[in-house]
């Protein structure tokens, strides 16, 4: 039976409004309400106030989303399950899986299941003055809630201040931006233009000071509890869809990338506080990597990629052990085991999320430690990757980088031919006598990547454009690519988007690689553009590569990547290319 939606939303010009269309009004209303609560919240909590007077009245407790219960009811009434009670019970068992590490919800499951068997949505109530929960059959369950609702509200009102208000505003802004990014109703919206900013001298101390400013902002945004530190981030979950989530462990969008930036900043600035924050951020890694090493299916779900999977985590562990002390290196064996599990289950060849990223990480571990296990894993991955990109005759198909072959690879570094070429080249340096085929395939892939990227010179970004391919090309002699095709990005202007993945600092990374190998023209261009990028940061005009440019902590699209790029410009000899998974002496 279909129930149409109620006519309770305004439809100007006959169309729905998106939250982003009214963002300014929403934030203004939120600030006004927040200020009123912060100023007069004590009136709510007085003995005659509404919160205290209603503390013993029953209130509904929403233990899970009602739509989950509705989905379970719908699935459990499928004709194939109605005649099999055990199979129907198995549908409801998803509640146990979802509550694996949540003791409060686990205590409710038996009552939830009983209600679902009756065909009802489970209903729980509680009294704000206590921690007991009442099920819909009248049973009281003592001590389910960790703290009484009234106590929680008292604490929240006591903590209300300008910093907390700013944090809440960020959540609102980021949520609206994420919703708009994936909405089919998305329409072009105006945005504030960044005014021209005069370039400044990009000396190392000034670049480091700007990076410390970003590190301080990340420290202020951190959520710390029980010896742990993490951040809320605006994370790309798939395609155009973004979500506001606590950061996972990944390099590009997770706490490993933020910790790596903070650790490098501390090593250069000597502040001490950044290193402590980095250690707290990666504290869960040993237990996480042990769990992944013991569970191949879990490792496969994490993926092997360098930016979005275990390859990047392995690299972060390696670099953090050099920056924070040997402690993080203790979990490298588990990390390599988990990486092998993930790579064996992945059909993707790319650098960001596939085998090329895993191969580069394994090669990086062998470069730094000489670990035989890392080289053995690299051997397996390199041969698998070579087989994936070459034909039966051992050559790379001519259309591998473009549209001349079905499911052909794009040109870019993150998911395309340039990143695979870098992985094969990095491995070839580990086995110089036995890798002629790998080197030849890398050159052929890079030829195609440079040709295709050169056909779209407007995109000079690292992830999808010319910059990544140009950085790899710097390591070949003679230079790859068709005659007349540029092997480094043009000396173009600096955009306010300074992110590593899509913005200016990713483009400058390619110039930095060429400059580090003695390219004088690249050095001159890098100095000019570094001064312009630094001026944007000092003027607070830098932007992230996120929906509506909302500031987010991530490495590839966000603030920690911008900070890392500044450190790289300041000290290229000691701050290696994180985009290439490099070492300082590589």
Q: What is the pLDDT of residues 356-407, one digit of tens each?
A: 999 999 999 999 999 999 999 999 999 999 999 987 666 777 654 444 432 3
User: What is the C-alpha to C-alpha distance for residues 420 and 355, in angstroms, rounded to an integer?
Assistant: 8
**Cα Dmax for the chain:** 85
Name the band, by pLDDT with cuts 50, 70 and 90, for residue 1: very low
Q: Could you tell me which residue, 174 or 452, shows the higher pLDDT? A: 174
Q: What is the pLDDT of residues 459-507, one digit of tens each?
A: 889 999 999 999 999 988 776 666 555 566 666 778 899 999 999 999 9
Q: What is the mean pLDDT of the chain?
A: 89
User: What is the C-alpha to C-alpha distance for residues 152 and 213, in angstroms, rounded to an integer?
Assistant: 34
Q: Rounded to 5 degrees, what are φ and ψ at 543?
A: -135, 155
**For residue 413, what are its two tokens?**
């570094």
Which of 139-143, 330-334, 451-455, 528-532 is predicted least confidently? 451-455
User: What is the C-alpha to C-alpha distance for residues 100 and 78, in angstroms, rounded to an integer?
Assistant: 26
Q: What is the pLDDT of residues 107-155, one digit of tens each?
A: 999 999 999 999 999 999 999 999 999 999 999 999 999 999 999 999 9
Residues of the chain by 3-state class (helix, strand, coil), percent to 5: 55, 5, 40
Q: What pairs with residue 61 in β-bridges? A: 124
First to last CA, the chain: 65
Q: Could you tell me which residue, 84 or 176, shows the higher pLDDT? A: 176
pLDDT at 448 over 90: no
User: What is the C-alpha to C-alpha distance for residues 492 and 315, in angstroms, rounded to an integer?
Assistant: 31
User: What is the C-alpha to C-alpha distance for residues 125 and 61, in angstroms, rounded to an integer?
Assistant: 5
CA distances from 104 to 108, 147, 467, 558 (A): 7, 11, 50, 35
Which of 75-79, 88-92, 490-494, 510-514 is predicted least confidently? 490-494
pLDDT at 101 over 90: no
pLDDT at 2 over 60: no
Q: Could you tell me which residue, 76 or 14, shows the higher pLDDT? A: 76
């Amino acid at each position: 039976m279909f129930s149409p939606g109620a006519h309770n939303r305004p439809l100007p010009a006959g169309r729905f409004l998106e939250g982003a269309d009214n963002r300014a009004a929403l934030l203004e209303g939120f600030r006004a309400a927040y200020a009123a609560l912060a100023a007069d919240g004590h009136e709510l909590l007085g003995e005659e106030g509404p919160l205290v007077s209603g503390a013993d009245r029953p209130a509904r407790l929403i233990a899970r989303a009602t739509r989950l219960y509705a989905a379970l009811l719908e699935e459990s009434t499928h004709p194939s399950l109605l005649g099999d009670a055990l199979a129907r019970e198995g549908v409801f068992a998803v509640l146990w899986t979802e509550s694996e590490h949540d003791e409060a919800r686990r205590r409710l499951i038996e009552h939830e299941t009983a209600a679902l068997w009756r065909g009802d949505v489970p209903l729980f109530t509680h009294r704000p003055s206590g921690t007991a929960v009442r099920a819909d059959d009248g049973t009281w369950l003592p001590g389910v809630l960790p703290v009484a609702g009234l106590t929680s509200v008292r604490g929240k009102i006591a903590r209300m201040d300008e910093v907390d208000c700013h944090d809440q505003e960020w959540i609102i802004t980021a949520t609206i931006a994420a919703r708009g990014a994936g909405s089919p109703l998305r329409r072009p919206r105006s945005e504030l233009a960044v005014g021209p900013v005069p370039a400044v001298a990009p000396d190392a101390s000034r670049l480091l000071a700007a990076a410390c400013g970003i590190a301080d902002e990340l420290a202020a945004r951190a959520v710390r509890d029980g010896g742990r530190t993490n951040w809320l981030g605006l994370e790309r979950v798939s395609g155009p869809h973004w979500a506001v989530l606590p950061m996972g462990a990944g390099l590009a969008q997770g706490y490993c990338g933020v910790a790596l930036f903070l650790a490098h900043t501390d090593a250069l600035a000597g502040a001490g506080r950044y290193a402590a924050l980095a250690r707290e951020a990666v504290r869960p890694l040993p237990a996480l990597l042990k769990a992944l090493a013991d569970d191949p299916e879990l490792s496969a779900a994490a993926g092997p990629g360098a930016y979005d999977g275990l390859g990047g985590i392995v690299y972060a562990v390696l670099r953090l052990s050099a920056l924070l002390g040997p402690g993080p290196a203790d979990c490298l064996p588990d990390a390599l085991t988990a990486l092998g599990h993930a790579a064996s289950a992945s059909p993707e060849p790319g650098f960001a999320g596939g085998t090329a990223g895993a191969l580069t990480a394994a090669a990086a571990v062998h470069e730094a430690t000489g670990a035989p296990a890392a080289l053995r894993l690299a051997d397996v991955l390199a041969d698998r990757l070579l087989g994936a990109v070459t034909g039966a005759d051992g050559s790379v198909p001519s259309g591998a980088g473009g549209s001349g072959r079905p499911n052909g690879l794009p040109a870019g570094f993150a998911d395309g031919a340039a990143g695979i070429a870098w992985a094969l080249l990095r491995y070839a340096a580990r086995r110089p006598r036995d890798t002629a085929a790998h080197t030849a395939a890398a050159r052929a892939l890079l030829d195609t990547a440079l040709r295709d990227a050169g056909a779209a010179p407007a995109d000079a970004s690292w992830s999808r454009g010319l910059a990544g391919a140009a950085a790899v090309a710097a390591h070949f002699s003679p230079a790859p690519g068709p005659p007349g095709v540029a092997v480094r990005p043009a000396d173009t202007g600096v955009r306010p988007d300074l992110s590593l993945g899509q913005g200016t600092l990713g483009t400058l990374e390619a110039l930095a690689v060429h400059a580090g190998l003695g390219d004088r023209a690249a050095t001159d261009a890098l100095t000019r553009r570094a001064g312009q990028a630094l001026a944007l940061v000092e003027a607070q005009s830098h932007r992230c590569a996120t929906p509506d440019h909302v500031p987010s902590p991530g490495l590839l699209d966000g603030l920690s990547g911008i900070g890392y790029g500044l450190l790289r410009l300041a000290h290229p000899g000691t701050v290696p290319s994180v985009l290439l998974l490099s070492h300082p002496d590589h």
